[in-house]
Chain A
Amino acid sequence: MNDLLKSLNIAVETGKRAEAKRLTQSLVDSGMKPLDIVEQGLVPGMSAIGEKFKNNEVFVPEMLIAARAMKEAMIILEPLLAQAGIKPKHTVILGTVQGDLHDIGKNLVGMMLKGANFGVIDLGTNVDPEKFPAAALEHGAHVIALSALLTTTMPAMKTTVDAIRASTVKGIKVMVGGAPISQEYCDQIGADGYSPDAASAVDLALRLVGETR
């Protein structure tokens, strides 16, 4: 079992989709609980690639290919998790702010959060400010993550934070990121945290929900 799990870690980290799928199926067939496969087989693989990304040892394409391998494995596991009534402990509402159509950074953050076993509700790009708190209410989310690539759409990030704070959603944490965003801007608009990259976004989300890796 341990060898299979270790092989699955490596298959995810190196983005070997077919291998990840095959190993996941083998672990399911061997009777391992689906949540254990996620936590011991998939999450360590994504964490490893995330660390390498933070250290500039790998780049965005390697992250995406790893995330795709995990996604393939999750196609097998998701129905089993649902059947067992297992849901991720924490949920993040994710989206690119109004007026901005860029999604690479947002998608990376989503993949890394899923890789850390967060539930992720991706609202897509060009999202109206009021949709974020509405989705947070609907899904009982703990964190809202906002992305913007363009300096021209940064004001929409502030509008969105204002809309969240003015909504009936109380106590939710807001994290922000994207090429033009800085800690200074995060503080200025009243967000709770800023992440400079997708891998660090997981650490930030964990911190915001009061957990550590």
Chain B
Amino acid sequence: MSQAFLPVSRLSFIASPAHRPMSRSTYLELASQDVALPIGAELVLKQHPDAHAVLLDGPRLGRVIEDAARRFRTPLAFPIMDLQLEKAVLLETLGVPVADVAKFHFDAAPDAAQITVVRDRLRSGALTPRMRANNDALRHIAQNTDLVPVGMCIGPVSLMTKLIADPITPIFMAGAGETAADNEEVALVETCLELAVTVILESLRHQIAAGAQAVFIAEPAANKVFFSPRQFEADGGALFNRYVFDSNQRIAALLAEHDVDLLFHCCGELIDPMLETFTRLRPALLSLGSSRDLVHDAKLVPDDIVLFGNLPSKQFYSETLIAPDQVEQRGRDLLAAMRATGHPFILGTECDTLHVPGCETQIWSKVDALLRCTCGPRPGPRVCVATSVT
């Protein structure tokens, strides 16, 4: 199991209130220190027998997130990556019973009045208990720790895809020139995308008010499963630009307005021009999946955007797919290769490191292996951090 030690000096420059707001240089400096940063607060959460109760208790959840950051020896307090929250609040606001939310899909496009209702109700603070707890957890991090409070939100395209039974076909039809005016399914996609942006902006306003200094936007659906590379090539990326860039740009603008850093994540399979579209959002950090060759990507990404990733955490559960020593070797190789590129880089996981019942020991052994990749000399004293969060 990971030791709960934290090199204090690594944090001293980064997250004290005097240094707010955050800045791009913060991540560049982190990258220059060869840190490793698994995303895995859920692993720590699931060590609590009453994990479900913790998710509804903001201060306790905050202490779990703090505990995870300490164990992972990172100044960035990444929260639980739950990409269902915005769908839940959206649908519950529209009167969909809680039990039906997960499987609910719109048959017809919501009208403008419904979008307004969602926006107004969320703006007035009508959040779900889980979202309220998340915001209280952010407050805990911001007010009681020296860690960087990181918010979390699904990206608009990914949220839209959760609202429609078959989003891929109409996205393709839109790319083939069909419009919302002449195709109901395209209209459904575009209205749901607008609804998604609306909900996300309101969710982010609450997270910013709770103290988020950076927000991790997880946009896994902006990939070549949902957007055909052939069509991308044919239209010069026009559809990808309209759906992915434009909607995320509205989010990036809100964050910029509040001096909150955008940490953009897509673990889906991409073609290079899709990646280049993400860089135009000007994230401070770009987190990519294990299908990407980050050495190659270093040539495509501007030098002031820190690359993050991309050890295959989705395989950490397995005894044979990847062994702990392979994780360590791969991490060290990647660090060395990225150092050779000169591109700022933080070694991390390709996505959230999820808890798999029965595979806990396997997964933790690989998280520990990842953390060992950067166990070179570190300045400053180490302090033991309490891990109890009850």
Residues of A within 8 A of B (CB): 15, 58-62, 64-65, 68, 101, 104, 107, 125-126, 150-152, 154-155, 179-180, 182, 184-185
- CB contact between B314 and one of A58, A107, A180 (< 8 Å): that residue: A180
List residues of B (345-359) whose CB comes within 8 Å of A's CBs: 354-358
B315 contacts the other chain (CB 8 A): yes
Helix, strand, loop or mixed for chain A's interface?
A: helix
Tell me if A64 and B356 are in contact (CB < 8 A): no
User: Which residues of B have CB within 8 Å of A179?
Assistant: 314
Residues of B within 8 A of A (CB): 102-103, 166, 168-169, 171-173, 175, 224-231, 314-318, 320-321, 354-358
- CB contact between A64 and one of B166, B229, B317, B354 (< 8 Å): that residue: B166
Whole-angstrom CA separation of A151 from B321 in the bound complex = 13
- CB contact between B358 and one of A64, A107, A155 (< 8 Å): that residue: A155
Tell me if A126 and B227 are in contact (CB < 8 A): no
Whole-angstrom CA separation of A109 from B310 in the bound complex = 28
Whole-angstrom CA separation of A65 from B170 in the bound complex = 9
User: Which residues of A have CB within 8 Å of B168?
Assistant: 60-61, 64, 104
5 A-B pairs with the lowest CB-CB distances in the bound complex, closest first: A61-B172, A61-B228, A60-B225, A152-B354, A151-B356
Other than the given A62-B228, A65-B172, 20 more pairs (CB < 8 A) read A58-B228, A58-B230, A59-B224, A59-B228, A60-B168, A60-B224, A60-B225, A60-B228, A61-B172, A101-B102, A101-B103, A104-B225, A125-B103, A151-B314, A151-B354, A151-B356, A152-B354, A155-B358, A180-B314, A184-B321
Tell me if A184 and B225 are in contact (CB < 8 A): no
Tell me if B171 and A61 are in contact (CB < 8 A): yes
Q: Can you give 21 contacting A-B residue pairs, CB < 8 Å?
A: A15-B172, A59-B228, A60-B168, A60-B224, A60-B228, A61-B168, A61-B227, A61-B228, A62-B230, A101-B102, A104-B225, A151-B316, A152-B354, A152-B356, A152-B357, A155-B356, A155-B358, A180-B315, A180-B317, A182-B321, A184-B321
- CB contact between A154 and one of B103, B172, B173, B356 (< 8 Å): that residue: B356
How distant is B200 from chain A, measured CB to nearest CB, in Å? Answer: 20
Q: Which residue of B lies closest to A102 (CB)?
A: B162
Whole-angstrom CA separation of A64 from B168 in the bound complex = 8
User: Which residues of A have CB within 8 Å of B318?
Assistant: 182, 184-185
Whole-angstrom CA separation of A61 from B225 in the bound complex = 7
User: Which residues of B have CB within 8 Å of A64?
Assistant: 166, 168-169, 172
Whole-angstrom CA separation of A125 from B354 in the bound complex = 20
Whole-angstrom CA separation of A58 from B232 in the bound complex = 12
Whole-angstrom CA separation of A20 from B172 in the bound complex = 18
User: Which residues of A have CB within 8 Å of B228?
Assistant: 58-62
Query: Which of B228, B229, B314, B355 is most buried by chain A, counting CB atoms within 10 A of its CB?
Result: B228
Whole-angstrom CA separation of A88 from B7 in the bound complex = 65
Whole-angstrom CA separation of A184 from B171 in the bound complex = 35
Tell me if B314 and A59 are in contact (CB < 8 A): no
User: Which residues of B have CB within 8 Å of A61?
Assistant: 168-169, 171-172, 175, 225-228, 231
Tell me if A59 and B103 are in contact (CB < 8 A): no
Q: Which residue of B lies closest to A156 (CB)?
A: B357
Whole-angstrom CA separation of A126 from B103 in the bound complex = 9
Whole-angstrom CA separation of A59 from B175 in the bound complex = 14
How distant is A187 from chain B, measured CB to nearest CB, in Å? Answer: 10
How distant is B266 from chain A, measured CB to nearest CB, in Å? Answer: 15
How distant is B303 from chain A, measured CB to nearest CB, in Å? Answer: 31
Tell me if B169 and A65 are in contact (CB < 8 A): yes
Whole-angstrom CA separation of A68 from B178 in the bound complex = 16
- CB contact between A151 and one of B102, B166, B231, B317 (< 8 Å): that residue: B317
How distant is A179 from chain B, measured CB to nearest CB, in Å? Answer: 7
Q: Which residue of B lies closest to A184 (CB)?
A: B320
Whole-angstrom CA separation of A64 from B161 in the bound complex = 15
Tell me if A68 and B229 are in contact (CB < 8 A): no
Whole-angstrom CA separation of A101 from B88 in the bound complex = 14
User: Which residues of A have CB within 8 Å of B224?
Assistant: 59-60
Query: Which of B172, B321, B354, B358 is most buried by chain A, counting CB atoms within 10 A of its CB?
Result: B172
Whole-angstrom CA separation of A90 from B72 in the bound complex = 51
Tell me if B354 and A155 are in contact (CB < 8 A): no
Tell me if B230 and A59 are in contact (CB < 8 A): yes
Whole-angstrom CA separation of A104 from B224 in the bound complex = 13
Whole-angstrom CA separation of A8 from B78 in the bound complex = 52
User: Which residues of B have CB within 8 Å of A182?
Assistant: 318, 321
Tell me if A150 and B354 are in contact (CB < 8 A): yes
Tell me if B357 and A155 are in contact (CB < 8 A): yes
How distant is A121 from chain B, measured CB to nearest CB, in Å? Answer: 18
Tell me if A126 and B172 are in contact (CB < 8 A): no
Whole-angstrom CA separation of A170 from B224 in the bound complex = 40
Whole-angstrom CA separation of A58 from B234 in the bound complex = 13
Whole-angstrom CA separation of A133 from B217 in the bound complex = 40
Query: Which of A150, A152, A182 is most buried by chain B, counting CB atoms within 10 A of its CB?
Result: A152
Whole-angstrom CA separation of A65 from B226 in the bound complex = 12
How distant is A153 from chain B, measured CB to nearest CB, in Å? Answer: 9
